Amino acid sequence: MELKKGIWLIYLHLMLFHVNGSALNCTWPNAESLYDALDETIFSKNHLRPVNLLETPTNVSISFILVGILGVNEKAQTFTTFLWIRLEWIIEGLTWDEKECGSEKLSVKRENLWIPDIFILEFMDEDQSPITPYVYIDSRGHVMDEKPLRVVSSCKLGILKFPFDVQNCSLSFGSFIHYDSAIRMVLGLSAERILSQSREVLQTEGEWELLNITAAESLLSLDGGGYHDIVFNILLKRRPVLYVVNLLIPSCFLNTVDLFSFLLPPQSVDRSAFKMTLILGYTVFLLIMNDLLPVTGNTTPAINVFFSISLGMMVGSLLETLFITHIQNSSNPHVPRWVRIVVLQYLAPIVCLTNKQQINRVTVDLNPNPTQLVTTVGMQAPFRIHHLEIKPRPIAVDHQPEKSAHDPVMEELRKLSQDLRTISRLVERHFKEPQTLCDWTFIGIVLDRFLFLNYVLFLFSTLVAISVLWTS
Ligand SMILES: *[C@@H]1O[C@H](CO)[C@@H](O)[C@H](O)[C@H]1NC(C)=O
Ligand SMILES: *[C@@H]1O[C@H](CO)[C@@H](O)[C@H](O)[C@H]1NC(C)=O
Ligand SMILES: *[C@@H]1O[C@H](CO)[C@@H](O)[C@H](O)[C@H]1NC(C)=O
Ligand SMILES: *[C@@H]1O[C@H](CO)[C@@H](O)[C@H](O)[C@H]1NC(C)=O
């Protein structure tokens, strides 16, 4: 029994000696005497890094919990978060006996101890964090310093994919003046633990969703020495619903209406007026949207380009309508040959329009009564008259051998023939003008359909390109 006790005492002594040179001597097992003992040994040396040999680096372990994502400012390229940060290090040589001194831990004023000058490299704004005046010391010399921190950090924000963007912001924790020979940073919790704990407590995310947190050590070498840092990369994903509902869907609606306005006949003024109203509506929409879109100096979000293209296409389709209306009401009856060839021979088959209606027959029947001139014309537009047939009513003529120049029948026939020629000329002149006009109408229809197909194709390819960009 005695022997056992003795061995135990020796073991305890050895342990204490092994861990550090000398334990604190508390006179009473209460906080006051512990404080007095600490005051004598540690607090008086709070200007010195707590190591026995200055060559030994102090390991400062760091971990944090992300409590809130307060915002991302694209213009200033900053990222505001709220962290609970925990630093831990060891005061070499400090131990006390829990029984002898009455407690395992003691919270002491921050000013009483040496505190590592850990800061965040990306810090951009003045520190508006609440002040915590105390740190914990435990009986093995562990110091635990926990504080809330409101961090406004610089972050390179890529907004090309807005509103489907993912941001990768770093927080690098390290000492400001101590080289890595004096302060080494150690990861207190694994990045997965930090992520899962942050997910549990995350209170305000706003429009951002926490995707991942990764941690890596880094050594910043400058002349004179290296600075040891721990870099946390925080991946954030924007929640796009607000922007899809407020920006994308209304824009797509307006584009669809613009597409369907091609159903209106181009020669009427209605269509251009309608398109003009749409453009006005879209401009108002763009004005409202300006407040929602992020702005930075160097990159423009793809969605901005999409809106510009949409507006451009609306303006383009208005111009197209004006052009079609102009050529369909063209005062110049002559259609240039190249226009006829390009439009009627090449474009018309592309847009599946053939002017087979153009071979319309005009039949002029001559009744015995010359005042009744009946013309029947195929009424489909566009029409063109290629053949003008004039069927004179067979006139029964007695074939008599004694024909003379002064035959009254011949006289009558000659008159009739002259009349017919006049009528024919008149009819020709009457149809000449509409023919070219109808050419212009047809050309207008072909061009309208061709440009409409281009419009659809362009809109579709823009949408596909932007979707690919967003999902990549
Ligand atoms: C505590 O007391 C022991 C002897 O009682 C002494 O050897 C030791 O140095 C003292 N420790 C401190 C920190 O004063
Ligand atoms: C500090 O950490 C390093 C490894 O990262 C280790 O080798 C060293 O012993 C630690 N120092 C102290 C005082 O714990
Ligand atoms: C985030 O950025 C850091 C460096 O800036 C890079 O090492 C890391 O791979 C990035 N993470 C992702 C997921 O892109
Ligand atoms: C976080 O990133 C790490 C390293 O890139 C990866 O191994 C891990 O699966 C990611 N976690 C999540 C939840 O995406």
CA of 108 to the centre of ligand 1 (A): 22
Rounded to an integer, what distance in angstroms lies between the CA atom of residue 156 and that of residue 213? Answer: 17
CA of 277 to the centre of ligand 1 (A): 92
Which pLDDT belongs to residue 376? 42
Number of continuous H segments (helices) and E segments (strands) in the chain: 11, 13
Closest-lying ligand 4 atom to the alpha carbon of residue 213? 1
Give the tens place of pLDDT for each residue, 180-194. 999 999 999 999 999
Q: Among 56, 59, 181, 228, which residue has the most ligand 2 atoms within 8 Å of its CB, making it the best to mutate?
A: 59
Q: What is the signed CA dihedral for 121, 126, 129, 134, rounded to 10 degrees?
A: 70
Give the tens place of pLDDT for each residue, 309-321. 999 999 999 999 9
Rounded to an integer, what distance in angstroms lies between the CA atom of residue 285 and that of residue 257? Answer: 14
* Element spanning 435, H or E: helix 408-471
* Residues 390-411, mean pLDDT to the nearest whole number: 63
Query: What tokens were used for 168?
Result: 């990768």
Q: Is the pLDDT assigned to residue 432 strictly greater than 80? A: no
Which pLDDT belongs to residue 291? 82
Backbone φ and ψ for 373, nearest 5 degrees, come out as -105, 110
Q: Is the pLDDT assigned to residue 375 strictly greater than 50? A: no
| Ligand 1 close to Cβ of residue 38 (< 6 A) | no
Residue type, 194: I
| Cβ-proximal residues to 58 (8 Å cutoff; 6+ apart), any chain | 49, 50, 51, 89, 90, 116, 182, 183, 184
> Please, which pLDDT band fits residue 16 given cuts at 50, 70 and 90?
very low
Question: What percent of the chain is helix, strand and coil (3-state, nearest 5)?
Answer: 45, 25, 30
* Residues 355-364, mean pLDDT to the nearest whole number: 48
Rounded to an integer, what distance in angstroms lies between the CA atom of residue 471 and that of residue 463? Answer: 12
Query: What tokens were used for 344?
Result: 């009627």
Give the tens place of pLDDT for each residue, 49-86. 999 998 999 999 999 999 999 888 888 899 999 999 99
CA of 173 to the centre of ligand 4 (A): 21
| Ligand 1 close to Cβ of residue 20 (< 6 A) | no
Q: Find the ligand nearest to 194 CA.
A: 4
Contact yes or no for 393/367 (Cβ under 8 A): yes
Helix (H, G, I), strand (E, B) or coil at 161: coil
Task: Record the pTM.
Answer: 0.75
What crossing angle do the helices spanning 302-328 and 408-471 adopt, rounded to 10°?
180
Question: CA nearest 237: which of 150, 156, 162?
Answer: 162
Rounded to an integer, what distance in angstroms lies between the CA atom of residue 99 and that of residue 434? Answer: 115
Query: What tokens were used for 132?
Result: 């915590």
Which pLDDT belongs to residue 222? 86
CA of 103 to the centre of ligand 2 (A): 27
Maximum separation of any 2 CA atoms in the chain, in Å: 175
- Residue 451 neighbours by CB distance under 10 Å: 20
Percent pLDDT > 70 in the chain is: 83
Which pLDDT belongs to residue 441? 83
Rounded to an integer, what distance in angstroms lies between the CA atom of residue 444 and that of residue 335? Answer: 12
Pocket (CB within 6 angstroms of ligand 3): 168, 170, 233, 235
Which pLDDT belongs to residue 186? 94
Of 108-117, 219-228, 329-338, the range with the highest mean pLDDT is 108-117
Higher pLDDT, 264 or 384: 264
> Please, which pLDDT band fits residue 266 given cuts at 50, 70 and 90?
confident
- Give the residue ranges of DSSP H helices in 189-295: 191-201, 241-243, 249-260, 269-289
* Mean pLDDT over each residue of the chain, to the nearest integer: 83
CA of 58 to the centre of ligand 3 (A): 28
Which pLDDT belongs to residue 394? 55
Least confident window among 127-136, 166-175, 376-385: 376-385
Q: Among 180, 184, 186, 230, which residue has the most ligand 2 atoms within 8 Å of its CB, making it the best to mutate?
A: 184
Rounded to an integer, what distance in angstroms lies between the CA atom of residue 375 and that of residue 434? Answer: 15
> Please, which pLDDT band fits residue 362 given cuts at 50, 70 and 90?
very low
Query: What tokens were used for 52?
Result: 């026995």
Rounded to an integer, what distance in angstroms lies between the CA atom of residue 173 and that of residue 147? Answer: 14
Least confident window among 118-127, 166-175, 179-188: 118-127
Pocket (CB within 6 angstroms of ligand 4): 212, 214
| Ligand 1 close to Cβ of residue 22 (< 6 A) | yes
Question: Do strands 225-238 and 208-222 pair parallel, antiparallel, or not at all (unpaired)?
Answer: antiparallel
Which pLDDT belongs to residue 214? 96
Closest-lying ligand 1 atom to the alpha carbon of residue 41? 13
CA of 226 to the centre of ligand 2 (A): 17
* Residues 75-104, mean pLDDT to the nearest whole number: 91
- Residue 436 neighbours by CB distance under 10 Å: 15
Which pLDDT belongs to residue 9? 47
> Please, which pLDDT band fits residue 17 given cuts at 50, 70 and 90?
very low
Query: What tokens were used for 146?
Result: 């926990």
Closest-lying ligand 2 atom to the alpha carbon of residue 92? 13
Cα–Cα distance list, 82 to 66, 87, 143, 172, 198 (Å):
6, 16, 23, 15, 11
Which pLDDT belongs to residue 19? 43
Q: Among 233, 235, 237, which residue has the most ligand 3 atoms within 8 Å of its CB, making it the best to mutate?
A: 233
Q: Is the pLDDT assigned to residue 361 strictly greater than 60? A: no
What sign has the CA pseudo-torsion 403, 405, 408, 410?
Answer: positive
Rounded to an integer, what distance in angstroms lies between the CA atom of residue 153 and that of residue 236? Answer: 14
What sign has the CA pseudo-torsion 397, 398, 401, 403?
Answer: negative
Residue 382, preceding peptide bond in cis (omega within 30° of 0): yes
User: What does the DSSP assignment read for 163-187?
Assistant: TS-EEEEEEEEEESS--TTTEEEEE
What crossing angle do the helices spanning 269-289 and 302-328 adopt, rounded to 10°?
170
Protein residue whose Cα sits closest to atom 3 of ligand 1 = 25
Instruction: Please name the residue that has the structure tokens 């002349």.
Output: 223
Positions of E strands within 382-432? 384-391
Percent pLDDT > 90 in the chain is: 46
Rounded to an integer, what distance in angstroms lies between the CA atom of residue 207 and that of residue 164? Answer: 11
- Residue 82 neighbours by CB distance under 10 Å: 18
Of 353-367, 421-435, 446-460, the range with the highest mean pLDDT is 446-460
